[in-house]
Amino acid sequence: MTFSERFSTMWAPVLFSLAAVGCSGAPAPGPSAGQPIRLALNWLPEPEFGGFYEGVLGGHYERAGFAVEIIPGGPGAPTLELLASGQAEVAISAGDDLLVKRSRGVQALGVWAAFQNTPMGLMVHAESPVLRIEDVPAGAEIAIEVGGPFQTFLWARQGWEGKVKALPAAGSVGPFLADPARIQQAYITSEPCVARGKGAEVRFLGAGEVGWNPYGTLVAVADPAPAWTDDFVAATQAAWEAYMADPARANAEIARKNPELSAEILSCVTEAQRPFLVGEDGLGALRPERFDAMASTLSSLGLLPPGATGAAAMRPRGAAQP
Amino acid sequence: MSVERTPSVGQPDRAATAPAVRFVGLGLRWAGAAAPLIDGLDLELPAGRVSALVGASGCGKSTLLRLAAGLLAPSAGEVRLEGPPLGPGGRAFVFQSPNLLAWRTVEDNVSLPLQLQGRSEPAAVEAALSAVGLLGARALLPRALSGGMRMRVSLARALVTRPSLLLLDEPFGALDAITRRSLHGVFAAAWAERGATVLMVTHDIEEAVLLADRVVVLGGQPLSVRAVRDIPGDRPRPDSARYAPAAIEAVRALEAAL
Amino acid sequence: MSGTPARSMALPAAVAVGVLVAWAGLASRLPEVLLPGPISVAHAVVDRWELLGRSALSTAGSAGLGLLIGSAVGLGLGVGFLWSRALELAVYPYALLLQTLPVVAVAPLLVVWLGYGAPVAVASAALVSFFPMLTAAHVGLLGVDPEQVELFRLYGASRLQELRWLRAPSALPAVFAGLRTAAGLSVIGAIVGEFVGSNGEPPSLGYLVLRSARSADTALTFAAVIAAACLAGVVYWAARTAEARLIGPWHPGQGGGRA
């Protein structure tokens, strides 16, 4: 365990409850009438959150009685912690993150997911002989978030321990572009399009194909779920469907919020992420079996206690209020 | 020669306000030390006079001075100041190094003791500066001064509260011979004017005989009085007084006691 | 040391020219995504001047406020340690521990407590500048000539008088040495805080570094890094100027001391 993990394991529940005591004032009423919702993103404004922006701009949330304020995130955005401490009503997270945080005392429930298949994976140059993740040869080097759950999973499941070298990823595609043999961790929503924008031909190898497939852009609310949950989920579904049909308005807003994204990258990402959003079950669906499978994967990696299950971390659509 | 004049040392009228210093059964033992540094020392130093404490370096004479200043508490016996009680600033100490505050001008260094008592007396500062001949340097910072000038500032700082007990710890020890001689005159004149009780520690017997009314030779462990000798003659004495036969004889006798 | 104005300008300028030439030479052999040349960085600076300026101001504000808070706490605790040995024994180990606290590890906590962006940067800058100031105050306030303390005691000076007229001024050289370290660190601290705890609102240098690296805009990364270096330079220069003004006249080796 790294220091930071140990730190958060030991202290996070204590600190979060302190924070909750300090910050649990009633949310201030939003500018427009309706149930105020602070929606905390787990990354900077990018197309992977396009539907939420469409929900605000297209009035989907307002019509359903919500006044939604989107709070952008950044590296390590503690969205579930913000939810737990009452500073957000909706947190965007990922399937694995939700399970791990729940095991550490954060009371949150997954209710909807945009990415049916994880946007995470590996990126190689188009001319690379590596066609699938299983093809990565012994002696290769991969720039990856060292110690992260994906890296832990890959090395354990692919038998790479002692064979493949993990290099700390610096969050830049520069070294990748300079080295045709380079393999790098990537999100379909980011690095491949940046690399293409710089003139490189790349191949994206999705993590879902080798069995690492947590839901992405997972909408989480407090557990037990608030009364407005079903209405919010329905509005979110409608908003995302509208975004998939016509991303122009939301993408313009994203470009305004995040001027570093060029128009080319925006449209590249919007197209590239499409298949990952829909998946097999369709946009927004959640299946308890997948949470259980993720929980058992995390258990086997030592990231959750042995025998952990995941189904309780989600709430089926339309479940009756207790 | 002044040494041979009638022994009417000091100014009796002013001496009435200055204390005599009496060490009674004085003892001092550093924490953890095997033997006491001072054990049962009795010594009287007269009011309104200059007494020089002489001894080999490291014998404990500076410690005795700190006891007299109240900077150290004795482990046995007491230091009695016999006379009218000392008011604030009634006691002044001149260290071997001038210990000036580097960020204050000469004038502000001299006025420090007054300032610490919430007093502002420009006239007293002026008088003290004038007594040591530093009126022209009042606006300078210490780093612009020579060693001798710094020592004079230190003396002016000690004089500014008009103390009736003045304690000096080898004030000339760190100076070259020529500067030292020129300062002897300044110091002696300043004391003579004020009639304070002066205790001066030195390791230079000749200096002691020139400046003091009473010379006490100290030595040994525990510290004991080896010799006491009164030096007759008015102060301040000219520098040439050190060559008078009586002075030379006194130096010889005291050296023998060292 | 000689310090004629002409030489003190010419020497760093010569180094700057040398570095620029070496940089341009190296950049011409490497792809831009690895090392952009001085010209393209200059272009980035000119083109993105407004964004860089706003980001630098935001970072400067965070660094400055963090430095102020870190200094106030550090100096205050230094005085506390001077007056209370018990406080020193009780708190010093934790102050030491705080110094080793990686901002990266606690950034999510800081976000939860303080919110995204500037507050995290301020806290991070305060965290890194606090310790050098505490150490400087601690060493400076205790490192007084014992005879000068005796002098003050002899005249019955109060603790406050002793602090105000003796210990504080005599600690100034150490405090300024600490401030020079802390000033540079505060800029780095703010940028690290922005790097891990910013969501781009408002833009800041740390956010620009992060964002431009993600989009492989290395010229902008370099421009942001150069802006950060300029910022550190300005903060250092300000600390140095204050130092020369306040203690230069009496403290040898500072400012005027070299003339």
Regarding whether A180 and A307 lie in a shared domain, the answer is: no
Res C136 pLDDT > 90:
yes
Chains adjacent to A (≥3 CB pairs closer than 8 angstroms): C
Return the partners of chain B (3 or more C-beta pairs < 8 Å): C
Residues A133 and A8 in one domain: no
A320 located within any domain: no
Rg (CA), chain B: 18
The verdict on residue A267 lying in a domain is yes
A105 in any annotated domain: yes
Query: According to the model, what pLDDT value does residue C246 have?
Result: 86
- Calculate how close chain C gets to B86, using CA atoms only, in Å: 12
Is the pLDDT at A9 greater than 90? The verdict is: no
Q: Is B139 on the interface with C (CB under 8 A)?
A: no
* A201 and A218 both lie in a single domain: no
pLDDT digits (tens, 9 = 90+) for A166-205: 888 767 788 888 888 899 999 999 899 999 988 889 999 9
Contact: A177, C33; criterion CB under 8 Å:
yes
Per-residue confidence at A30, pLDDT binned at 50, 70, 90? very low
Boundary (domain end) residue, out of A210, A234, A264: A210
Which has more pLDDT, B1 or B128? B128
Confidence of residue A26 (pLDDT cuts 50, 70, 90): very low
CB B53 within 8 A of CB B218: yes
A110 and A230 both lie in a single domain: yes
- C-alpha pair distances (Å), B141 with each of B97, B132, B144, B156, B163: 16, 16, 6, 15, 25
Q: How confident is the model over B131-144, as pLDDT tens digits?
A: 888 888 888 999 99
pLDDT of residue C5: 67
Residue A296, judged by CB atoms within 10 A of its CB (0-12, 13-18, 19+), counts as middle
Q: Is A319 a domain residue?
A: no
The CA distance from C151 to B5, in Å, is 38
Residues A15 and A106 in one domain: yes
Statement: residue B212 has pLDDT above 70: yes
Q: B143 vs chain C: nearest CA distance in angstroms?
A: 7
pLDDT level of residue A27 (50, 70, 90 thresholds):
very low
Distance CA A108, CA A313 (A): 7
Nearest residue on chain C to B87, alpha-carbon basis = C155
Closest chain C CA to residue A86: C112
Interface probe with B: pick from C144, C148, C149, C151, most Cβ of B within 10 Å: C151
Q: Is the ipTM of this complex over 0.85?
A: no
In this structure, what CATH number is given to the domain that contains residue B182?
3.40.50.300
CA–CA separation, A300 and A146 (whole Å): 18
pLDDT per residue over A98-154, tens digit each? 999 999 889 999 999 999 999 999 999 999 999 999 999 999 999 998 888 999 999
**Helix or strand (DSSP H, E) at B64:** helix B61-69
| Contact assignment for C213 to A172 by CB distance below 8 Å | yes
Range of the domain at A149: 123-210
Q: In the prediction, which pLDDT does C56 show?
A: 93
Cα(B209)–Cα(B226) distance, integer angstroms: 16
Averaged confidence pLDDT in chain B: 82
Range of the domain at B219: 14-257
Given an 8 Å threshold on Cβ–Cβ distance, is B93 in contact with C150? yes
Of A159, A187, A210, the last residue of a domain is A210
CA distances from C128 to A161, C18, C94, C174 (A): 37, 33, 14, 17
Mutate to test the interface with C, among B106, B112, B159 (most CBs of C within 10 A): B112
Q: State whether A94 and A232 are in the same domain.
A: yes
Answer yes or no: do A77 and A127 share one domain: no
A80, A182, A260: best to mutate for the C interface, most C CBs within 10 A: A260
- Chain C: nearest CA to B158, how far in angstroms? 10
**Does B4 reside within a domain?**
no
Chain-chain contact of C161 with B116 (C-beta, under 8 angstroms): yes
C 220-249 near B (Cβ less than 8 A): 247, 249
A111 plus A220 within the same structural domain: yes
Q: Which residues touch A232 (CB under 8 Å, ≥6 apart)?
A: A37, A61, A64, A66, A90, A111, A219, A221
- In this structure, the answer to whether residues A96 and A16 fall within a common structural domain is yes
- State pLDDT tens for residues C35-57: 888 888 888 888 888 889 999 99
Domain-embedded: residue A287: yes
Look at residue B4 and tell me whether its pLDDT is greater than 50.
no
Whether A321 maps to a domain, the answer reads: no
Domain boundary among A210, A226, A249: A210
Q: Into how many domains does chain A fold?
A: 2
Supply the pLDDT for residue A77. 86
CB atoms within 10 A of CB B176: 10
If asked whether residues A224 and A192 sit together in one domain, one would say no
Beta bridge partners of A186: A121
Q: How far apart are CA A76 and CA A89, in angstroms?
A: 18
Question: Does the beta carbon of C154 lie under 8 angstroms from any beta carbon of chain B?
Answer: yes
Which residues of chain A have a CB within 8 Å of the CB of C216?
A: 172-174, 177, 194-195, 197-198
pLDDT digits (tens, 9 = 90+) for B29-78: 888 888 888 888 888 888 888 888 988 877 888 888 888 888 888 888 88
Taking CA–CA distances from B70, the nearest residue in chain C reads C154
Domain assignment present for B8: no
Are A49 and A136 part of one and the same domain?
no
Q: Domain of A277: which CATH number?
A: 3.40.190.10
Domain ranges for chain C: 42-258
Nearest CA of chain C to the CA of B72: how many Å? 10
Q: Which phi and psi angles does A138 have, rounded to 5°?
A: -60, 145
So what's the pLDDT on residue A17?
Answer: 41
Contact A293, A286 (CB under 8 A): no
Q: How many domains does chain B have?
A: 1
CATH superfamily of C42-258: MetI-like (1.10.3720.10)
Residue B27 zone, left/alpha/beta (φ > 0; ψ -120 to 50; rest): beta
* A96 and A222 both lie in a single domain: yes
